[in-house]
Homo-oligomer: A and B are copies of this chain.
Amino acid sequence: MAEAVETMEGWFSLHDLRSIDWPKWKRTSNKVRQEAIEEFIELIAKWEEVETQKKGSHVLCKALGHKADLMFMFLRPTVEQLSDIETKIEKSKLGDFLIRKHSYLSVVELGKHRAPKDVDLRTSPRIRERLYPILPKWDYMSFYPMNRKREAHANWFTLEQSERSKLLYEHSLTGRKYMEKVRQVTTGSIGLDLWEWAITLFSNDALQVKKIVYEMRFDEASSRFGEFGDFYIGIRMTEEGLKEYLAVSK
């Protein structure tokens, strides 16, 4: 029987995608819209305060396509805090104009399969930075969940641990080639949500998101073992950007 690789987990993660009910938003009064925006900006300010204190992190994007209009990613130490964020959004004035489209719960995960043996991983600053990451404020965020196959000819979970380590190491070399251009956060979601892992990519060049995932698809870890679902991509939005986005000219 293949052995599970020990993993380390950091902050819990929630991807939260919502669409704006534009006809309803446009129909409402200027006053309500103004209040809704102001209140939401305050909410964002509180999330930023959390990030400043390194007690969590978040990114807000304008999503592309029909899948959603807004795409959030939140990192927090507990699922309670993530759940509380959801409730805050629902109860906010803006929440009345948002339609939930998708969400994804996971937890920042590091495999120990190639961990250095002479380091105390729990206290290593380099490890802690990866378990409790401040999400890069880069222009684009792409998010996709994935599984490893459990088929007759390609069963990740019956592979020897050494084989899995080797494949993941090769896979990481492709990632390293893009290190300057693309940052990656891997979160695990077995037992938490529909897929086994979720990958979130950040870049200042939207094309590099395509380039890295394309190149990685030829790595054996993906070509033989990867199962992919949908991909969600968004453009980072500042508070000013959000205000502009929600502005309705009369």
Contact = CB atoms under 8 A, between A and B. Distances in A.
Interface of A: 1-4, 7, 9, 12, 14, 16-17, 20, 22-23, 26, 62, 64-67, 69, 78-80, 82-83, 86-87, 90-91, 95-96, 100-105, 107, 140, 142, 144, 150-155, 157-158, 170, 188-194, 196, 201, 206-207, 209-215, 217-220, 222-224, 226, 229-231, 233, 235, 245, 248-249
Contacts of A189: 210, 231
A14 B64 contact: yes
Contact of A223 (B82, B87, B150, B170): B150
The 7 closest A-B CB pairs, nearest first, are: A191-B213, A157-B223, A65-B103, A152-B153, A66-B103, A66-B100, A190-B214
A100 B23 CA distance: 12
Given A83-B64, A212-B191, A206 B12 contact: yes
13 contacts: A3-B218, A4-B217, A7-B214, A9-B210, A14-B64, A23-B95, A66-B100, A66-B103, A152-B152, A152-B153, A192-B209, A192-B233, A194-B229
Contacts of A4: 214-215, 217-218
A91 to B, nearest CB: 7
A194 B95 contact: no
B207 A9 contact: yes
A212 B79 CA distance: 17
Instruction: Give the number of copies in the complex.
Output: 5
B235 A213 contact: no
B158 A235 contact: no
Contact of A152 (B96, B154, B233): B154
A145 to B, nearest CB: 12
B158 A220 contact: yes
Contacts of A142: 191-192
Nearest to A18: B66
A96 B22 contact: yes
Contacts of A218: 1-4, 157
The winner among A16, A104, A158, A207 for most chain B CB atoms within 10 A is A207
B26 A224 contact: no
Given A80-B235, A157-B223, 15 more contacts: A17-B66, A22-B91, A22-B96, A64-B82, A64-B103, A79-B233, A83-B235, A144-B191, A150-B226, A152-B152, A158-B220, A190-B213, A190-B214, A190-B217, A191-B210
